Structure 1
Amino acid sequence: MTSQLLERAQGGDERAFQELTAPYVRELHLHCYRMLGSVTDADDLLQEILLAAWTGLDGFEGRSSLRTWLYRIATNRCLNAIRDGKRRPPTEPLPPFDPPEPTRRGDITWLQPYPDTWLEDHAVRRETVELAFVTALQRVPPRQAATLVLVDVLGFTIAEVADQMDTTPTAVKGALQRARASLKQPISAAPAEPEGERAVDVSADREGEWVVARRFAAAFVADDIEAVTSLLTDDAWLAMPPAPHEYQGATAIAAFLRASADGRRGARLRLDACGCNHQPGFSCYFIGDDQIPWYAGRFVLTVDGERIGRITRFLEPALEKVLPG
């Protein structure tokens, strides 16, 4: 950031402001997604954040980096959105068939996937964007979740986070300790300096995961339910946000898949590969007699070794227009 560029932006030069903030837009969007669990909510909030930064740029005195200042705005906007109830669960979809009784009803029905193509521009540690981590954050009190993300994911210091959240270092340490205790699998240490996340080379693991994922896809489009369930771990889950229905174990999942296949009335399936959250994923389409595909959700698979521990099928129709294919 040059002082001249900042002066121009503070003087009302919108292009200079866009140039100043462009390096941080995608990571701010990801920050909102982690906090809110929803891409569409993150889209809306990002616009609020950039507007607040633009109108408040005169107050930026350079005592911190511009990135730190932007995260202060973003974090507080996220906390306000959660507090004010802006993160509202979408309407529960009505299935076109009679589903079997679920194992349980999930409580985080607003969860959405985050496309890998949006993660390519800057380094993102895999464990900080996987669905399990994003889901876990939704169950942690918001200020604790924000503290954990700012410190453990983004590498801000305790003092910086205290300033960003208008609190004390002691309060930050307490919130961080409680947030870490709430996570079943704490994430690895963040970079020493908040210059972005460190990428971890997981290419070999991901290649193996895609082998399993492609086997799943072949079995699923063939309605070979036995082959699908043979790929599952013993305690595998099937979830379908925004529907709350969740099924655990091969027997329960197979019962749902059979009911779903019967309800399709002969329409064929097509799965197009598209990774999300650094996990294998597929866009799903139904193809009827007219050969015109229509969107039927997006799968994200949690692969455990050579088997699948969780199938998450995001059913929200609006995601077809929001997410890249």
Structure 2
Amino acid sequence: MGGIPPARADELLARARGGDGEAFRGLVEPYRRELHVHCYRILGSVQDAEDLVQETLLAAWRGIGGYEERASVRTWLYRIATNRCLNALRAGSRRPPEHPAYHPEVPLPEPSHRRGEPSWLEPYPEVLLEDVADDVPGPEARHETRESISLAFLAALQQLPPRQRAVLVLRDVLGFRAAEVADILDTTENAVTSALTRARGALSREVPVRESAPLPDSPRERRIVADFVRAFESGDVDAVIALLTDDAWLTMPPLPLVYQGLDDVRHFLATVALRPGRRHRLIPTRANGQPAFACYVRDPRTPILRAHGVLVLTLTGDRITAVTRFVDNSLLAAFGFPRSLRA
């Protein structure tokens, strides 16, 4: 049972059924982090994932007496968590407004097009992935842990209908068997197979096949990231553009604006992000298995750096294929950063 020796798990289960809260925590705690990632994949929000994990564990505690051991504790918890997530999506109450108030300091140029991606998608701090082992997925998983937490994968996943989304995550990310997924979702294996086929087809259209990104913290990744930081902090638009692929994207969730291609990205950087007199400081972190930064803007009137969101890079080969700046400054707290710094 997820690293708990069987005899120990049986003992904890018996004590938990007798009302021992400490035993219950010992039984479910090994699965908390992976359940959090699971809820995040389905919901796209770190805070919503935290809320749903809390709801899942509370429901498990209240229902421990009815746990019949037909499936492992891990599978039982995934059943509760998945259905809680689907209920939340059906309720629609966990999504923020599509266009929250945002007041740019200068007018934003006309975008290449308007994004159809979900506005509620948030970056996932790398520190929350540290205790989720790479060998958690079952033998039928088709996606590696690193790929299945990337921003491109998550954005495409959010486009799927909720039930297809859950089926694809359970089957292709976590590697549950079709019969297990049918039990989790209280449906038939045929329905699971049909939903999975449709989800795979939709996902393949949304996620382009690209050259692999450099390995995390590899010399190649460090070089690209260092070049980007140097160019961005110095306000060198040409140097930033030189690091991008020809079809690179620049987006700013939750704003639905997309700037794609070198000309449009260059124009945005030159007139908005890196306009004359504006300087940034980027503090490295990681999000969704990708290089990321806590972004701050220098205040020319005071020795203060003001929060300017979380910036995430998507790499392919030796180039950057997407620059995503999440404009909500409250996201910095999840990465352990303050709203302001002294210059």
**TM-score normalised by L of structure 1:** 0.90
Q: Does 1:268 align with 2:279?
A: yes
Instruction: Give runs of aligned pairs for residues 277-288 of structure 1, distance below 5 A.
Output: 277-288=288-299
Tell me which residue corresponds to 1:110.
120
Provide the aligned C-alpha RMSD in A. 2.1
Work out whether 1:311 is the aligned partner of 2:311.
no
Please name the residue that 2:86 is paired with.
Answer: 79
State the alpha-carbon separation in 2 of the partners of residues 148 and 224 from structure 1.
Answer: 42
The alpha-carbon deviation at position 205 of structure 1 amounts to: 7.9
- State the partner residue of 1:190: none
> Comparing 155-164 with 112-121, which one deviates more in the overlay?
112-121
Aligned mate of 1:223, from 231, 235, 256: 235
- Contact 2:44 2:158 (8 Å CA) reproduced: yes
Counterparts of 2:220 and 2:85 in 1: how far apart (Å)?
36
1:301 to 313, 320, 327: 313
Residue 122 of structure 1 corresponds to: 132
Paired position in structure 2 for 1:240: 252
Number of residue equivalences:
311
Gap change, CA 1:67 and 1:318, over 3 Å in 2: same
Is contact 1:301-1:312 (8 Å) kept? yes
- Give 1:134 shift: 0.6
Are positions 1:96 and 2:105 aligned together? yes
* TM value normalised by structure 2: 0.85
Worse-superposed segment, 89-98 or 208-217: 89-98
1:47 corresponds to which of 41, 45, 54? 54
Matched letter for residue 154 of structure 2? V
2:69 aligns with: 62
Return the offset for 1:137: 0.5
Question: Following TM superposition, by how much is the alpha carbon of 1:149 offset from its aligned partner in structure 2, in angstroms?
Answer: 0.7
Query: Could you tell me which amino acid in structure 1 is paired with residue 161 of structure 2?
Result: P
User: 2 CA distance for matches of 1:7 and 1:14?
Assistant: 11
List per-residue Cα deviations over 1:149-170 (Å, max 9, x = no partner). Answer: 1011111111010000000011
Q: Deviations over 1:69-102 (max 9, x none)?
A: 0000010011111111023134242212101011
Cα deviation, residue 118, structure 1: 1.3
Amino acid at match of 1:257: L
Aligned to 1:191: none
Structure 2 gaps, min length 5: 135-144, 208-213, 338-343
Decide which moves more: 1-10 or 313-322.
Answer: 1-10
Q: Which runs of 5+ in 1 are unaligned?
A: 188-201
Q: Does 1:6 align with 2:7?
A: no
* SS of alignment partner, residue 290 of structure 2: coil
Percent of residue pairs bearing the same amino acid type: 52
Aligned partner of 1:323: which letter?
A: F
CA deviations over 1:46-76 (Å, ceiling 9, x no partner):
1111111111111111111000000000100
Per the alignment, do residues 186 and 24 of structure 1 end up closer, same or farther by CA in structure 2, a change over 3 Å counting? farther
Q: Report the CA distance between 1:290 and its aligned residue.
A: 2.4
Deviation track 1:230-289 (CA, whole Å, cap 9, x = no partner) reads 1111111001101111100111112111222477x8453110110111111111112224
Deviation digits for residues 102-136 of structure 1 (CA, Å, limit 9, x no counterpart) = 11222311111111111111224211111111111
Q: Which residue of 28, 41, 56 corresponds with 2:35? A: 28
Query: What do the CA deviations read for 1:155-193 (whole angstroms, capped 9, x no partner)?
Result: 111101000000001101111111111112799xxxxxx
